[in-house]
Structure 1
């Protein structure tokens, strides 16, 4: 089954009835929800009946985010709130919560609950030690570490009190694999994983808190990487069980690129599926974990 057919089938199956919409009526915040992994997560949630607060940062993302939100509303009978906010700023994360509350609170009772938070927004710059500077360090840590912390801080008053909440932090294999030129980026993701474990304890009566650790993913960011970067990663990719190319199934661009990359990256739907699994009711006994979303590139935490 091709990727487009897979996506359509998932959407059709999840929209076919109430019992097939396991997130019916819940509210989720997805940061960096305008494209790539974030947009795929939004599509996954919407097909399951979840209302969405979609965050984006740059003006260039305004139109695609609005279009995505409108499309999901029409196709899945959900409500959405689109919020422009910089997760790297001091006030941006709280602004997301405030705008979500204004747009999705109950019209009569004023009740507002955040059932799911996906800390997906992130920035990555690869630099060797000699080229790392304070500005780059500050930017990556502000977005990738401080942003999720401040978002959680703002969201706590609105989390469930029955352990039904779900938080998923999007980390990376970079947190533990020690890739060259990722002193800063890898450090931010390791910090996010450390916070995942702390939050799992602090918020145990409110929600589960887990992280996922994708490897290469077929996004605009991956598409902009050089052949040299992909070749440097190829030894890892070749040893990733699920990265082997499947002709006739995988996109032709990945088939053609196999000599450089050593295999295929994840599709965004692959990552969204793992996030969706962790946000289900059935995942209620899983918390404080870093869950594989990398095809087996990294087996252990």
Structure 2
């Protein structure tokens, strides 16, 4: 197992892409620190991982709260892999976007990965190795009505990927982004509904939704040494939607 001896922190790990990523990292030998807001779902994830022979623990955190974020960083300790996956997904026309939801999305989608990376990346750099994977979206690069706040925060995260690569990669820490297309997660299905999600999926070249596991495969690849020459990149996993 290629990640044996590695410790990985996954935010937003209690479902969807985060949960699938946590399970796959553990299956590849990593000791997983899973974080999210729901202790019950966190306990279920840890049980699933340990029953499959992996190692995991759960740390509850609300990443819109900077003090909670700092407690998470302190409780996690040194990591080899950081997956910045947690996000809020507000959907509203620009003229109807309320300030509170806007601020919460910026806090979760930009401020949280920013200060979590700032807390954890220096120790990776001191050891001369590490991998940070940020989870974005195809909506960061194409205009989609109703997603102005979400797409802007994720475009900011992709920009941070390039800056962090410039800052940390000379010390051996790779920083990359995975930009998924429409994926069958609880968040997407709750927000968009079956019909809305199917409509977006129909705009991709493969004409279907991704499974969380398909996106997790790409994230885990970037976390391993198989991606040892990749840094500062945004890897699209969107069934060709942004390619044509």
Query: TM-score, length-normalised on structure 2?
Result: 0.93
Following superposition of structure 1 onto structure 2, how do residues 219-258 of structure 1 map, counting pairs within 5 Å?
Answer: 219-224=185-190, 225-226=192-193, 229-230=196-197, 233=200, 237-241=201-205, 243=206
Give, in whole Å, the separation in 2 of the partners of 1:138 and 1:239. 30
Count how many residue pairs are aligned between Structure 1 and Structure 2: 242
CA offsets per residue over residues 190-235 of structure 1, 9 Å max, x none? 00000000000101114100001111101112222236634652xx
Q: 2:103 maps to what in 1? A: 138
Q: Does 1:191 align with 2:156?
A: yes
Give, in whole Å, the separation in 1 of the partners of 2:81 and 2:104. 26
Following superposition of structure 1 onto structure 2, how do residues 122-133 of structure 1 map, counting pairs within 5 Å?
Answer: 122-133=87-98
SS of 2:180's partner is: coil
**Which runs of no fewer than 5 residues in structure 2 stay unpaired?**
none
C-alpha displacement of 1:240: 2.4
Q: 2:41 maps to what in 1? A: 64
Q: 1:85 maps to what in 2? A: 61
Q: 2:242 maps to what in 1? A: 298
Q: 1:169 maps to what in 2? A: 134
Contact preservation (8 Å) 2:202, 2:208: no
Contact preservation (8 Å) 2:198, 2:209: no
Give, in whole Å, the separation in 1 of the partners of 2:54 and 2:24. 14
Give, in whole Å, the separation in 2 of the partners of 1:215 and 1:77. 29
Q: 1:32 maps to what in 2? A: 12
CA offsets per residue over residues 26-71 of structure 1, 9 Å max, x none? 00000001111101001110001100111011xxx21121121123
Q: 2:179 maps to what in 1? A: 213
Indicate how the Cα distance of structure 1 residues 275 and 25 shifts in structure 2: closer, same or farther if over 3 A, else same: same
**Which runs of no fewer than 5 residues in structure 1 stay unpaired?**
1-20, 102-112, 244-262
- Pick which of 25-34 and 289-298 moved more: 289-298
Q: Does 1:97 align with 2:73?
A: yes
Query: TM-score, length-normalised on structure 1?
Result: 0.76
